[in-house]
């Protein structure tokens, strides 16, 4: 049985990805930093469906915590870096510690997990890494400069790491979702949400399940596909 680690899996896109992989025969390892109750509720749901699941409360921005997490994973076939957070506000009003929190959670965490996952993948000459980026990593968003910068960093990280690992038959790709119906967008007013939808040719938000379906497809794509930033945004960009 193959094992997938999905970070930030207590809700939204991460939870949808966990459900998809679990329902298709994977042992899922799921993490979150704060929503312990939701995480273990998801673990119970997945196990009720017949899929083995390991749930770990872990702050992915803390390297030592990530080391402890990997000590609990005997083997890893797929790594999905989904953990993330956002900040909405003017850059000039942003405190340095808020900036660092975004970078630590969204970008540094990818470094930590990849650093620890890569040696075993290289040893067996097989592995898949999928990073969850954002449309704002491609285009940038006003009032979300730190978030955009962290996701743009993920895009560059993905492309560079894919080149580094291609000789070892390890594929590294990223998804760049557009406006998805998740709690991360709860800061948007009804007016803001309507204005954004009006810009999207599909005229709606995407769903976490759509991202999960694409994640499955990318992880199981031909090995020659690597280093790609794949947009799923209803034609927005």
User: Which ranges of the chain have pLDDT less than 70?
Assistant: 184, 186-187
Looking at the chain, the whole-number percentage of residues with pLDDT higher than 90 is 88
> So what's the pLDDT on residue 190?
80
Are the beta carbons of 65 and 57 closer than 8 angstroms?
Answer: no
Query: What pLDDT is recorded for position 148?
Result: 98
Q: Is 147 a catalytic residue?
A: yes
Instruction: Find tokens 């992989």 and name the residue.
Output: 21
Summarised one tens digit per residue, pLDDT across range 125-148 is 999 999 999 999 999 999 999 999
**Per-residue pLDDT reduced to its tens digit, 91-124:** 999 999 999 999 999 999 999 999 999 999 999 9
Looking at the DSSP assignment, which residues form a beta bridge with residue 177? Answer: 232
Two structure tokens written together for 65: 């915590």
Catalytic residue among 63, 87, 88, 147: 147
3-class secondary structure, 227: coil
Shortest CA distance to 148 belongs to which of 233, 86, 208, 101? 86
pTM: 0.95
Q: 180: which DSSP letter? A: B
Cβ-proximal residues to 134 (8 Å cutoff; 6+ apart), any chain: 147, 148, 151, 176, 177
Please tell me the predicted confidence (pLDDT) of residue 186.
66
């Amino acid at each position: 049985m193959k094992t997938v680690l999905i970070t930030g899996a207590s809700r939204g896109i991460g939870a949808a990805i966990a459900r998809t992989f679990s329902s298709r025969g994977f042992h899922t390892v799921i993490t979150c930093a704060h929503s312990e109750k939701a995480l273990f509720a998801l673990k119970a749901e997945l196990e009720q469906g017949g899929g083995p699941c390991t749930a770990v409360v872990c702050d992915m921005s803390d390297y030592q915590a990530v080391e402890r997490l990997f000590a609990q994973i005997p083997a890893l076939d797929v790594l999905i870096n989904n953990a993330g957070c956002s900040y909405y506000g003017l850059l000039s009003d942003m405190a340095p510690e808020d900036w660092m929190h975004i970078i630590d959670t969204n970008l540094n965490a990818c470094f930590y997990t990849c650093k620890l996952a890569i040696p075993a993948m290289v040893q067996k000459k097989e592995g898949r890494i999928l990073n969850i980026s954002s449309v704002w990593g491609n285009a940038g968003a006003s009032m979300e400069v730190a978030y955009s910068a962290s996701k743009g960093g993920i895009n560059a990280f993905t492309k560079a790491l894919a080149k580094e690992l291609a000789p070892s038959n390890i594929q590294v790709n990223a998804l760049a979702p557009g406006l998805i119906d998740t709690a991360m967008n709860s800061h948007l007013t009804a007016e803001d949400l309507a204005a954004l939808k009006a810009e999207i040719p599909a005229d709606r938000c995407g769903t976490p399940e759509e991202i999960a379906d694409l994640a499955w497809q990318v992880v199981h794509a031909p090995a020659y596909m690597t280093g790609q930033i794949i947009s799923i945004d209803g034609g927005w960009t």
